[in-house]
């Protein structure tokens, strides 16, 4: 042992050499924390390198993506690999070139990719944008340099092959990102005459691939329909639409030779920087000659070793048999960061060339062999090339099975670095590949100091994360036999919550050989997700072997398999019925695949099989997305109404946009880490931070005892019913108890885990709404009702028909890409403090920081420049972190910073409210609804927060677009031992509207009527009153429905869907056309106010400040447009720096989609005042005077060039619980409709969205480019809420299970509609609309339209259930996950797979709150 240690150490160095954006870095790793990642290093380099973001810390969101440029260890070919910097250990970049978003360009000289993403509105909050840019950059570079790509980039490369599967965006809806990327589709290697490459070749902009119709021509604008809105003469802005080729500008609007008006390209038309592939960053020549040396560095807790030969690795394992071998680090880093796993010796093995070999099959050797270090991405590409090879003599089934599983294995960032050997050794029970190795009879060769060991994969896995790999052994190679012959069929299947980049729920592989007589000679079936390790099914295999390949054999095999893979009701991982049903469904699919591939008919199964075999044996595959926007701006003025790109968009794409944690570190700064409870309902017996305080570079521990008084600990939005820091009791898992402050984030987190808390449990926690209702656990401060009409029970008793039901909706995690973040800077004078917070409510931040630090509010300045998304989640809950950080800064007398990790953020900040609604309706035989009675229950969590307002809005939207004369609806907030739930885009409105879709579905089913008819006969008419006595004015939903019906070809497609469903058994389609009506205003009258401060400087530039905050919704951009329009100056002379409590005091939260209405009006009013002051100088100096000269003249006369603006929304004043008519609840209603079509695989629960057409009434848009993005992004968020986004709690502990992208699934690039069309209402009148420039708020209203995806799935399932003999209405429960889709189909496999709760047995593994 000593010899091996001594043999390695003298060779090893701690010096790591790499390049960062072309700059040489020689790093002495011995001074680096061994737990630090590449992301930690990059961001530690200070300002200018903060574009690479921390979004999740587990490689699931892509915000940290960088490109690694290196030579392939086997071929020497230059490669550009997108990788997750948050997972990559620093040792992994030795000898490589790291390229971050800053290496591509900056706002002065952007890369064409950065520029196009900006101009085409591919960013909103911008936090995810640098990572997406880098994933696409890797694609562009690979298209040029990788011989496999043949110098070509295709639409399929961008959208269908998973290039962006590892990136998430919560704002945009993805379409604009894809369209931006598709402009680069084309040939990348152009050979000039003589066959030489043209080094100056420019890749043409591909307008067609980007859904930009470059050829269609229209007039670019119309005469201004409202001349009174135009600036007076003397404006510095040219007339027309602002385009250089505007049809209203004489020099460009007519042909000089003919005098006829020109025609112009379809909107929008952009001028893009040319892309020259040959001008990119080169691979540093010094690295071409670099030879890696063994590395060794670390500290007393963890040591890193990096061998460069297999011999060195084997020797290390002999000395340290329990050393952790690290390849891609995709599993290890998660264990270290999220599970606090300690690995004293870590060995990086990915720089050993001997383990990268590939040996394709030959005629003499029908097997595929490869080294254990082969990255999964390269294995996938190799398998594809072998499958595509013509005239092959080897069996291709195993190769196709490998490729199939790898296509949906994580994102490219993980696949590029994760190795086959690492995947096997990890022994995950849900590994996608391990069932393949078992089914195809693969072997692996392991190496020890004694030599090679051959191990069969059939019995390699022996327990949870346990294998038969000998101690101190290293996996060297994998051997896949390809000798199955033409009568062998191999297929692999996987089902997850989301098709792309998701871990499996159940994964499987099947191999079967059937002889010419139709007898099964060989069968091997393997499953992941059905036990604690990957298993085969020996009983089922033995049963089918030797039997004839018939449907009868299948039926019997399903019975055997059902018993063999049976699961207990409380199985770890939950979903027992779904998992068992999938196991059966996969065998059913495979059996039919064998029948199809070998042309063996299965007799007597007409009722079980579709007429189209692909429905049974295939999986749903999407096509490249397309779509259109109407992209006209008929209401555009000189600046307002123009489709301007987000003013920070270019900074988003270049990584220059500064978020809270991007701010430079301050002198003496500390980092805060929360100490969170690990009980959901318990007394705190003691808290001991002594061990933590003894750790290196730990500064202090903060608890409730450090507050100025016990009273200062209490806070809340409506009721002061929760504490910042727990005192003697915790009422939810992960409730803050204290904060450790240390020198670095890693040190603070390690110390926080060392704080010892002793608890005494107070009994089982209340987690669900049902439990709360049963125990009478409510927040007593809230009890509200809306009623209109006659006494409801009497009306229902007299109704011609009645129906009742229960609607259930789960919550939704905000998953803003930037987690909660705060920097508190004490000023050491008069108790002053500056607090930089990622918050939507700076006034609340100021209020609570002042309280916990014991000073008046005038000593606290709360500031915020931008957020990386908010969606309501940063309205109230951001104050909790800000207050704790500020308290820590006060105690430690130093600046303190904290940005929550994703798991901390999800556990502590709340979600969209789950709802349970019991309703009853009365209706006529014609489908006319006469009465509605409902009881709404929301899971508020452990504190009230603003849950009352959420339920208010749900009550006010429960009728959606339907006029119901008699209504009585009642709402309560349930008090549970879960995180305190809070505002989320829609704020209860979507939950209320979902109920309306449930009861009209039941009515249509009960009466045998078409649901569209039921909806139509109940629609509001202009001037009718809502249940809260507000008139519905400017009512455009009927027109929107008709416009959408026509533009989407809804009627014809509806007929086609029904025909498709009659002809297909296992694939079903659904189509719906639904409206939405969303009230705009805060529910609290006092909050409907805005304020602004506008400065004019002597150079003519304008600075705008207002009470709103920017979270990606474009509020800063719209307000700058309003100021530019009113002051008659170009937009580029107007700027907003930040929002702060010392420029605009007492500002309301930016929420309720009211930012533009309130703050935009305030900016407008300030500018009106400034115009009054400047008017004499306009008259005096004339129309040609510059704005700077006007300002100078006014200043010389001592006229103030600064003005405040204020606005209060008129006409509001609804009184809750007063059933008589009072004031209005809302200013107006934003309206819209969506026609949505889906396709569902009922055997797996998979679905895809085929097409969506949205028509929205947004009034006269302030900025169509921003509004289109808001519509698409909100729809996608609503789609996620209603389908795949499911929060799960662990029943045993009360902890939330879905703490990151690994368990909680957002819609990804591959989930958006394949055809996505959006149109804004034109040529309409809004005589009653008094909003700013007659625009409408748009952030929240489209979200409910995303639920049309779930409603269309329900339509599809009605056909599936009918085929299964089920005629009643499906339970209404959102989200409609793959589990619920599969089980709702109700076919014979689902019935066979059902796992019943044992009588008197316990609850399931998960709680659905």
Q: Rounded CA gap, 609 and 553, in Å?
A: 16
Q: Strand 736-742 vs strand 698-702: parallel, antiparallel, or unpaired?
A: antiparallel
The residue behind tokens 């006494």 is: 791
**Known binder of ligand: residue 953?**
yes
Chain Cα centroid distance, residue 1244: 23
- 1057 near 1070, Cβ under 8 Å? yes
Q: Rounded CA gap, 3 and 785, in Å?
A: 80
Among 325, 573, 326, smallest CA distance to 464 is for 573
**Known binder of ligand: residue 327?**
yes
**Known binder of ligand: residue 330?**
yes
> Environment class of residue 778 by beta-carbon count within 10 Å: exposed (0-12), middle (13-18) or buried (19+)?
middle
**Known binder of ligand: residue 64?**
yes
**Known binder of ligand: residue 961?**
no
**Known binder of ligand: residue 246?**
no
Among 59, 531, 134, smallest CA distance to 338 is for 59
Q: Rounded CA gap, 384 and 162, in Å?
A: 14
**Known binder of ligand: residue 61?**
yes
Neighbours of 617 (CB within 10 A): 21
Which candidate in 476, 1126, 1237, 1340 is catalytic?
1340
496: helix, strand or coil = strand
Sequence-distant (≥ 6) Cβ neighbours of residue 343 within 8 angstroms: 302, 323, 324, 332, 335, 336
Residue 1363 parent element (H or E): helix 1348-1363
- 57 near 338, Cβ under 8 Å? yes
- 966 near 788, Cβ under 8 Å? yes
Q: Rounded CA gap, 799 and 925, in Å?
A: 10
Number of residues that this document lists for the chain: 1409
Q: Rounded CA gap, 1190 and 1175, in Å?
A: 9
**Known binder of ligand: residue 419?**
yes
Q: How is residue 1291 written in tokens?
A: 């029943």
Per-position DSSP letters for 938-981, written without gaps between them: EEEESS-TTHHHHHHHHHHTTTTTB--SEEEEEEEEEE-SS---
**Known binder of ligand: residue 1060?**
no
**Known binder of ligand: residue 357?**
no
**Known binder of ligand: residue 125?**
yes
> Environment class of residue 143 by beta-carbon count within 10 Å: exposed (0-12), middle (13-18) or buried (19+)?
buried
**Known binder of ligand: residue 86?**
yes
**Known binder of ligand: residue 420?**
yes
Angular region, 242: left φ>0, alpha ψ -120 to 50, beta rest: left
Q: Rounded CA gap, 1377 and 1245, in Å?
A: 8
**Known binder of ligand: residue 56?**
yes
DSSP conformation class of 1196 = H
- 1342 near 1256, Cβ under 8 Å? yes
Alpha-helix runs per DSSP H in 535-666: 538-544, 551-564, 576-597, 613-617, 649-654
**Known binder of ligand: residue 840?**
yes
**Known binder of ligand: residue 432?**
yes
Q: Rounded CA gap, 1113 and 1116, in Å?
A: 8
Q: How is residue 442 written in tokens?
A: 């693969």
**Known binder of ligand: residue 127?**
no
Q: Rounded CA gap, 150 and 306, in Å?
A: 35
Q: Rounded CA gap, 1066 and 593, in Å?
A: 14
**Known binder of ligand: residue 171?**
yes
| Backbone CA torsion sign across 180, 181, 187, 189 | positive
**Known binder of ligand: residue 436?**
no
Q: How is residue 623 written in tokens?
A: 């096509």
Q: Edge to edge, what strands does the sheet with 345-348 contain?
A: 295-298, 303-306, 345-348, 324-326
**Known binder of ligand: residue 92?**
no
**Known binder of ligand: residue 325?**
yes
Angular region, 1013: left φ>0, alpha ψ -120 to 50, beta rest: alpha
521 is annotated as an active-site residue:
no
**Known binder of ligand: residue 686?**
no
Three-class secondary structure assignment of 735-748: CEEEEEEECCHHHH
**Known binder of ligand: residue 757?**
no
Per-position DSSP letters for 437-480, written without gaps between them: HHHTT-EEEEEETTEEEEEESTT-EEETTEE-PPTT-EEEEEEE
**Known binder of ligand: residue 941?**
no
Alpha-helix runs per DSSP H in 200-307: 250-253, 285-288
**Known binder of ligand: residue 331?**
yes
Annotated binding-site positions for Mo-molybdopterin: 840, 871, 985, 1152
Annotated binding-site positions for substrate: 875, 953, 987
Annotated binding-site positions for FAD: 325-332, 409, 419-423, 432, 494
Annotated binding-site positions for [2Fe-2S] cluster: 56, 61, 64, 86, 125, 128, 169, 171
List residues with catalytic annotation: 1340
Annotated binding-site positions: 56, 61, 64, 86, 125, 128, 169, 171, 325-332, 409, 419-423, 432, 494, 840, 871, 875, 953, 985, 987, 1152
């Amino acid at each position: 042992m000593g010899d091996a240690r001594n043999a390695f150490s003298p060779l090893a160095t701690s010096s790591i050499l790499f390049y960062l954006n072309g700059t040489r870095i020689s790093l002495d790793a011995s001074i680096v924390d061994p737990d630090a990642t590449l992301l930690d290093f990059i961001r530690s380099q200070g300002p200018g390198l903060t574009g690479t973001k921390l979004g999740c810390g587990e490689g699931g969101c892509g915000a940290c993506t960088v490109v690694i440029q290196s030579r392939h260890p086997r071929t020497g070919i230059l490669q550009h690999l997108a990788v997750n910097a948050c997972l990559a250990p620093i040792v992994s970049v030795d000898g490589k070139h790291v390229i971050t978003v800053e290496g591509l360009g900056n706002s002065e000289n952007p890369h064409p990719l950065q520029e196009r993403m900006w101009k085409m509105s591919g960013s909103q909050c911008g936090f995810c944008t640098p990572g997406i840019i880098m994933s696409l950059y890797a694609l562009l570079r690979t298209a040029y340099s990788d011989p496999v790509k043949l110098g070509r980039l295709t639409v399929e490369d961008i959208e269908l092959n998973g290039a962006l599967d590892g990136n998430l965006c919560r704002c945009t809806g993805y379409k604009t990102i894809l369209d931006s990327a598709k402009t680069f589709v084309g040939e990348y290697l152009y050979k000039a005459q003589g066959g030489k490459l043209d080094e100056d070749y420019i890749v043409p902009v591909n307008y067609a691939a980007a859904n930009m119709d470059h050829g269609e021509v229209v007039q670019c604008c119309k005469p201004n329909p409202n001349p009174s809105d135009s600036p007076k003469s003397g404006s510095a802005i040219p007339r027309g639409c602002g385009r250089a080729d505007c049809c209203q500008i004489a020099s460009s609007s007519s042909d000089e030779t003919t005098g006829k008006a020109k025609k112009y390209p379809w909107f929008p038309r952009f001028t893009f920087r040319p892309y020259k592939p040959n001008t990119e960053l080169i691979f540093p020549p010094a690295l071409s000659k670099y030879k890696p040396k063994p590395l060794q560095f670390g500290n007393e807790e963890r040591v890193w070793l990096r061998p460069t030969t297999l011999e060195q690795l084997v020797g290390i394992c002999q000395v340290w048999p329990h050393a952790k071998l690290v390849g891609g680090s995709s599993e290890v880093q998660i264990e270290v960061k999220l599970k606090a796993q300690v690995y004293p010796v870590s060995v990086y093995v990915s720089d050993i060339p001997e383990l990268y070999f590939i040996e394709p099959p030959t005629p003499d050797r029908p097997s595929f062999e490869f080294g254990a270090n082969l990255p999964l991405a390269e294995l996938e590409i190799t398998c594809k090339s072998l499958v595509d090879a013509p005239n092959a003599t080897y069996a291709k089934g195993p190769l196709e099975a490998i490729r199939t599983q790898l296509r949906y294995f994580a994102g490219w960032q993980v696949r590029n670095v994760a190795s086959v050997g690492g995947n096997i050794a990890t022994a995950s029970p849900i590994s996608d590949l391990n069932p393949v190795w078992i089914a195809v009879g693969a072997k692996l060769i392991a190496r020890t100091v004694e030599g090679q060991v051959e191990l069969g994969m059939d019995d390699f896995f022996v327990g949870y994360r346990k294998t038969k790999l000998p101690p101190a052994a290293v996996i060297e190679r994998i051997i896949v036999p390809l000798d199955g012959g033409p009568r062998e069929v191999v297929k692999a299947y996987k089902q997850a919550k989301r098709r792309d980049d998701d871990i499996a729920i159940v994964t499987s592989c099947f191999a079967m050989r059937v002889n010419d007589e139709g007898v099964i000679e060989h069968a091997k079936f393997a499953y992941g997700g059905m036990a604690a390790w990957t298993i085969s099914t020996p009983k089922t295999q033995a049963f089918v072997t030797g039997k004839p390949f018939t449907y009868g054999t299948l039926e019997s095999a399903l019975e055997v398999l059902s018993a063999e893979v049976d699961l207990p009701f409380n199985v770890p991982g939950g979903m027992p019925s779904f998992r068992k049903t999938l196991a059966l469904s996969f065998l059913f699919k495979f059996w039919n695949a064998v029948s199809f591939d070998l042309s063996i008919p299965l007799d007597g199964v007409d009722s079980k099989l579709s007429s189209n075999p692909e429905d049974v044996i295939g999986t749903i595959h999407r096509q490249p997305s397309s779509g259109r926007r109407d992209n006209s701006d008929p209401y555009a003025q000189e600046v307002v109404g123009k489709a301007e790109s987000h003013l920070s968009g270019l900074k988003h794409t270049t990584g220059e946009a500064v978020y809270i944690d991007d701010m430079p570190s301050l002198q003496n700064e500390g980092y805060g880490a929360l100490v969170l409870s690990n009980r959901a309902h318990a007394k705190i017996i003691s808290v001991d931070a002594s061990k933590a305080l003894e750790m290196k570079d730990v500064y202090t521990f903060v608890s409730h005892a450090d507050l100025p008084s016990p009273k200062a600990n209490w806070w809340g939005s409506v009721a002061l019913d929760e504490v910042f820091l727990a005192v003697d009791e915790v009422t939810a898992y992960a409730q803050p108890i204290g904060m450790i402050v240390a020198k670095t984030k890693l040190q603070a987190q390690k110390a926080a885990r060392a704080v010892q808390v002793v608890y005494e449990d107070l009994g089982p926690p209340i987690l669900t709404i049902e439990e709360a209702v049963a125990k009478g656990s409510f927040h007593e401060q809230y009890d509200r009702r809306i009623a209109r009409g006659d006494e409801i029970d009497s009306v229902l008793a007299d109704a011609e028909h009645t129906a009742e039901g229960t609607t259930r909706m789960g919550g939704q995690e905000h998953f803003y890409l930037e987690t909660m973040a705060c920097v508190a800077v004490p000023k050491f004078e008069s108790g002053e403090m500056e607090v930089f917070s990622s918050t939507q409510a700076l006034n609340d931040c100021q209020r609570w920081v002042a309280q916990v630090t014991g000073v008046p509010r005038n000593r606290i300045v709360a500031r915020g420049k931008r957020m990386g998304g908010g969606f309501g989640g940063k309205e109230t809950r951001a104050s909790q972190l800000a207050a704790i950080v500020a308290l820590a800064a006060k105690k430690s007398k130093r600046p303190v910073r904290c940005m929550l990790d994703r798991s901390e953020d999800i556990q502590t900040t709340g979600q969209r409210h789950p709802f349970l609604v019991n309703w009853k309706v009365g209706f006529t035989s014609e489908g006319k609804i006469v009465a509605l009675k409902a009881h709404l229950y929301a899971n508020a969590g452990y504190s009230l927060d603003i849950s009352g307002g959420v339920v208010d809005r749900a009550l006010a939207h429960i009728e959606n677009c339907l006029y119901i004369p008699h209504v009585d609806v009642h709402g309560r907030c349930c008090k549970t031992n879960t995180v305190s739930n809070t505002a989320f885009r829609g704020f209860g409105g979507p939950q209320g509207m979902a109920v309306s879709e449930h009861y009209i579905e039941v009515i249509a089913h009960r009466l045998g009527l078409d649901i569209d008819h039921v909806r139509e006969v109940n629609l509001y008419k202009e001037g009718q009153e809502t249940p809260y006595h507000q008139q519905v004015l400017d009512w455009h939903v009927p027109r929107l429905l008709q416009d959408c019906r026509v533009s989407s070809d809804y009627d014809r497609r509806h007929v086609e869907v029904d025909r498709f469903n009659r002809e297909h058994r296992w694939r079903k389609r659904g189509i719906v056309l639904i409206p939405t009506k969303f009230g705009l205003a805060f529910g609290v009258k006092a909050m409907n106010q805005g304020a602004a401060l506008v400065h004019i400087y002597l150079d003519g530039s304008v600075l705008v400040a207002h009470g709103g905050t920017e979270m990606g919704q474009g509020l800063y951009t719209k307000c700058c447009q309003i100021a530019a329009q009113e002051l008659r100056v170009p937009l580029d002379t107007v700027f907003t720096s930040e929002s702060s409590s010392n420029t605009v005091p007492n500002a309301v939260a930016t929420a309720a989609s009211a930012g533009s209405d309130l703050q935009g009006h305030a900016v407008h009013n300030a500018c009106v005042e400034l115009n009054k002051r400047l008017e004499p100088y306009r008259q005096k100096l004339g129309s040609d005077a510059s704005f700077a000269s006007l300002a100078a003249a006014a200043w010389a006369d001592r006229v103030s060039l600064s003005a405040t603006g204020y606005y209060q929304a008129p006409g509001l004043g609804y009184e809750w619980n007063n059933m008589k008519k009072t004031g209005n609840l809302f200013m107006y209603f934003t309206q819209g409709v969506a026609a949505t079509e889906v396709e569902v695989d009922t055997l797996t629960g998979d679905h895809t969205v085929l097409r969506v057409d949205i028509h929205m009434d947004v009034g006269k848009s302030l900025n169509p480019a921003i509004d289109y993005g808001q519509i698409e992004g909100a729809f996608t968020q609503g789609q996620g809420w209603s389908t795949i986004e499911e929060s799960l709690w662990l029943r045993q502990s009360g902890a939330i299970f879905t703490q990151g992208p690994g368990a909680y699934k957002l819609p990804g690039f591959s989930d958006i509609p394949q055809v996505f069309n959006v149109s804004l209402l034109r040529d309409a009148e809004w005589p009653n609309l008094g909003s700013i420039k007659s625009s409408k708020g748009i952030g929240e209203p489209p979200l409910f339209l995303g639920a049309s995806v779930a409603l269309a799935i329900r339509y599809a399932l009605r056909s599936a259930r009918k085929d299964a003999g089920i005629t009643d209405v499906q339970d209404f429960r959102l989200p409609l996950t793959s589990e619920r889709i599969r089980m709702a189909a109700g076919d014979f496999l689902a019935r066979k797979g059902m796992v019943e709760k044992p009588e008197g047995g316990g609850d399931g593994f998960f709680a659905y709150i």
